[in-house]
Amino acid sequence: MKLKVCGLSSINEVKTCVLNNVDYCGFILNYPKSHRFISLNKAKEITSVDKKNTKFVCVLVNPNEEELEIYSKLNFDYFQLYGNYKDLDLKKIKNKFRKKIICAIQVKTEQDVYNYKQVENESDIILWDSSGYEKSLSWDFDWIKSISTKVKKMIAGNITIEKLNVLKDVADIVDVSGALETNKVKDINKIKEFINEIGKI
């Protein structure tokens, strides 16, 4: 099971993740409602570190063409996209901006998990997330257990360290944010503890 730490906002947080071999680092770029939002200048600064084998992910909510153009010039490997996408939309974005795609499926009901079929062909990773955007809401992770796809499965939504043993049978990648914070700020000790637990699994 691989780990994505999302909502990073300082060089120290990013370096901690890279030095501890976190697989993916996520940055919230165009969604100011989130307390994890960072400015373009801040993004340039904290993604300038040597990322070694870590992949950097630009998290975007309904981005327009201009935003995609701007962020495509930064040191990102993936666009993580929230919005109403189909395979054709993703293909155009990939061809134009040369980034891999994590497409987010927002889940309120069990039926929602099957929306992945609309983006399966052009997604490099499919993320099943809660419908809460900046809020960490829970949903029933068992809903995706039966889904069979060649695409890597990532899950998010109020993931805590206590849930990891169950999640290893459900997804290829866990996407964690709130559980790694103290008073809405990333906590280096919590990040390291989470990394260690993933390592044991």
Q: How far apart are CA 158 and CA 146, in angstroms?
A: 21
Lowest mean per-residue pLDDT among 39-43, 134-138, 170-174: 134-138
pLDDT in tens, 21-39: 999 999 999 999 999 999 9
Which CATH number belongs to the domain containing residue 46 in this structure? Answer: 3.20.20.70
pLDDT at residue 118 tops 60? yes
Tell me the one-letter amino acid at 181.
Answer: E
Looking up tokens 């809903």, which residue turns up?
A: 143
Residue span of the structural domain in which 187 resides: 2-200
pTM of the model: 0.95
Look at the chain and report how many structural domains it folds into.
1
Q: How far apart are CA 45 and CA 79, in angstroms?
A: 18
Q: What is the dihedral of CA 34, 184, 195, 81, to 10 degrees?
A: 0
Looking up tokens 């399966």, which residue turns up?
A: 120
pLDDT in tens, 139-158: 899 999 889 999 999 999 98
pLDDT band at residue 134 under the 50/70/90 scheme? low
